[in-house]
Structure 1
Amino acid sequence: MRKNAALAMGLLLASVGPLRADEPRPVPLTRPEMKQLLEDMKLRHPRFQLPELSAEEKAKLGERESGYESRLRKLYLHPSEGVRFGGGNAQAAPAVDLKGGTAAEPGIRRNTDPNMSLDYPFKTQMFWVVSRTNNCQYCLGHQESKLLGAGLKEEEIAALDGDWLEFNPAQRAAFAFARKLTYEPHRLNDADIDELRKSYKDLQILEMILSIAGNNAINRWKEGAGIPQSKDGGNFRRRTENGATPAPALAPDATAPAQSYLTPTPEKFRTTITKVAPIQVDRISGEPSRQTICERPALESREEVERALELCRNRKPRLPLLDEAKAREVLSENGPSGPLPQWIRLLANFPRDGVSRVISLQSAEEKGDLTPLLKAQVSWIIARQDRAWYAVGHAKKRLEQLGQSQEQIDKLDGPWSEFTMSERALFTVARKLAASPVVLTDEDVANAVKFAGPRDVVQLISYTTNRASFDRITEAAGLQLER
Structure 2
Amino acid sequence: MILKTTRLPLLGMGLLMSSLLTIQSTRADDSAAAVSDAEGWKRLPKTERGGEGPLPVWAKAVAARLPRTAAAMLELDFAQRTKSPLDPALRAKMRWVIASANRCAYTQAYALADLKRTGATEAAIKTLTGDPEQWPEADREPLEFARLLTVAAPTIPDALFARLREKYGDKGVASMVLLAAYGNFQDRIILGLGLPLEVGGPLPPIDVKFVPGTIQMTPLPQPPQSKQHLLESGETVVDRDPEWSQASYDELQARLERQRARTPRLPIPSWDDVKKTLPPAMTVRPIKIVWTLVCLGYVPELAIPWNHATRTLWAESKPDRVFEESLFWIQTRAIQCNYCMGHCEMLMEVAGLDKKEIAERTRRLASDDWSAFPPAEQRSYAYARKLSKTPWALTADDYKALEKDLGPDMGLATFWWLCRGLYMTRVSDGFQLPLERENVFQNFYPKKPEDEAKAKSR
TM-score (norm 2): 0.73
| Alignment pair present for 1:443 and 2:397 | yes
8 Å contact 1:87–1:211 — kept in the other structure?
no
The superposition leaves residues 307-356 of structure 1 with CA deviations (integer Å, 9 ceiling, x where unpaired) of: 11111112221113221211122233314635521112101222332222
Q: By how many angstroms is 1:166 displaced?
A: 4.0
Q: By how many angstroms is 1:400 displaced?
A: 3.1
Q: By how many angstroms is 1:45 displaced?
A: 4.1
Residue 376 of structure 1 aligns with an amino acid whose one-letter code is E
8 Å contact 1:38–1:229 — kept in the other structure?
no
Mapped to 1, the partners of 2:35 and 2:271 lie a distance apart of 51
The superposition leaves residues 51-102 of structure 1 with CA deviations (integer Å, 9 ceiling, x where unpaired) of: 9979x9799789968985444322222513664654955xxxxxxxxxxxxx
**Counterpart position of 2:260:** 313
Residue 122 of structure 2 aligns with an amino acid whose one-letter code is E
Mapped to 1, the partners of 2:40 and 2:284 lie a distance apart of 42
**Counterpart position of 1:406:** 359
Matches within 5 A, 1:356-435: 356-365=305-314, 367-401=316-350, 402-403=352-353, 404-413=357-366, 414-435=368-389
In structure 1, the residue corresponding to 2:132 is in which secondary structure? coil
**Counterpart position of 1:346:** 294
| Alignment pair present for 1:334 and 2:274 | no
Residue 373 of structure 1 aligns with an amino acid whose one-letter code is V
| Alignment pair present for 1:151 and 2:119 | yes
**Counterpart position of 1:217:** 185
Alpha carbons of structure 1 residues 60 and 219: separation in structure 2 relative to 1, 3 Å: closer
8 Å contact 1:382–1:434 — kept in the other structure?
yes
**Counterpart position of 2:171:** 203
Gaps of 5+ in 2: 1-6, 44-50, 207-242, 438-458
Residue 158 of structure 1 aligns with an amino acid whose one-letter code is K
Question: Which segment is superposed worse, 129-138 or 335-344?
Answer: 335-344
8 Å contact 1:365–1:375 — kept in the other structure?
no
**Counterpart position of 1:127:** 95
Mapped to 1, the partners of 2:292 and 2:65 lie a distance apart of 28
Residue 181 of structure 1 aligns with an amino acid whose one-letter code is L
Q: By how many angstroms is 1:47 displaced?
A: 3.3
| Alignment pair present for 1:75 and 2:47 | no
**Counterpart position of 2:426:** 472
Alpha carbons of structure 1 residues 358 and 46: separation in structure 2 relative to 1, 3 Å: same
Q: By how many angstroms is 1:300 displaced?
A: 1.8
**Counterpart position of 2:198:** 230
**Counterpart position of 1:254:** none
**Counterpart position of 2:22:** 40
TM-score (norm 1): 0.69
Mapped to 2, the partners of 1:464 and 1:47 lie a distance apart of 19
Mapped to 2, the partners of 1:147 and 1:66 lie a distance apart of 20
Mapped to 2, the partners of 1:429 and 1:382 lie a distance apart of 10
**Counterpart position of 2:225:** none
**Counterpart position of 1:21:** none
Residue 406 of structure 1 aligns with an amino acid whose one-letter code is A
Alpha carbons of structure 1 residues 49 and 28: separation in structure 2 relative to 1, 3 Å: farther
Q: By how many angstroms is 1:396 displaced?
A: 0.9
Alpha carbons of structure 1 residues 202 and 222: separation in structure 2 relative to 1, 3 Å: same
Mapped to 2, the partners of 1:442 and 1:185 lie a distance apart of 28
In structure 2, the residue corresponding to 1:481 is in which secondary structure? coil
Alpha carbons of structure 1 residues 300 and 383: separation in structure 2 relative to 1, 3 Å: same
Alpha carbons of structure 1 residues 118 and 36: separation in structure 2 relative to 1, 3 Å: same
Q: By how many angstroms is 1:39 displaced?
A: 5.0
In structure 2, the residue corresponding to 1:80 is in which secondary structure? helix
Q: By how many angstroms is 1:392 displaced?
A: 0.7
Alpha carbons of structure 1 residues 178 and 53: separation in structure 2 relative to 1, 3 Å: closer
The superposition leaves residues 401-455 of structure 1 with CA deviations (integer Å, 9 ceiling, x where unpaired) of: 4313311122223442332222122222222112232122222222222222222
8 Å contact 1:183–1:436 — kept in the other structure?
no
Mapped to 2, the partners of 1:384 and 1:419 lie a distance apart of 17
Alpha carbons of structure 1 residues 420 and 335: separation in structure 2 relative to 1, 3 Å: farther
In structure 2, the residue corresponding to 1:431 is in which secondary structure? helix
The superposition leaves residues 205-238 of structure 1 with CA deviations (integer Å, 9 ceiling, x where unpaired) of: 111111111111111111112111122248xx9x
Alpha carbons of structure 1 residues 206 and 399: separation in structure 2 relative to 1, 3 Å: same
Residue 433 of structure 2 aligns with an amino acid whose one-letter code is L
The superposition leaves residues 260-308 of structure 1 with CA deviations (integer Å, 9 ceiling, x where unpaired) of: xxxxxxxxxxxxxxxxxxxxxxxxxxxxxxxxxxxx9765212211211
Alpha carbons of structure 1 residues 343 and 218: separation in structure 2 relative to 1, 3 Å: same
Q: By how many angstroms is 1:189 displaced?
A: 3.7
**Counterpart position of 1:293:** none
Match of 1:454 among 408, 431, 438: 408
Residue 377 of structure 1 aligns with an amino acid whose one-letter code is S
The superposition leaves residues 379-403 of structure 1 with CA deviations (integer Å, 9 ceiling, x where unpaired) of: 1111122221111111011123431
8 Å contact 2:330–2:385 — kept in the other structure?
yes
Alpha carbons of structure 1 residues 48 and 422: separation in structure 2 relative to 1, 3 Å: farther
8 Å contact 1:181–1:472 — kept in the other structure?
yes
Mapped to 2, the partners of 1:79 and 1:219 lie a distance apart of 20
Question: Which segment is superposed worse, 373-382 or 180-189?
Answer: 180-189
**Which has a greater percent of helix?**
2
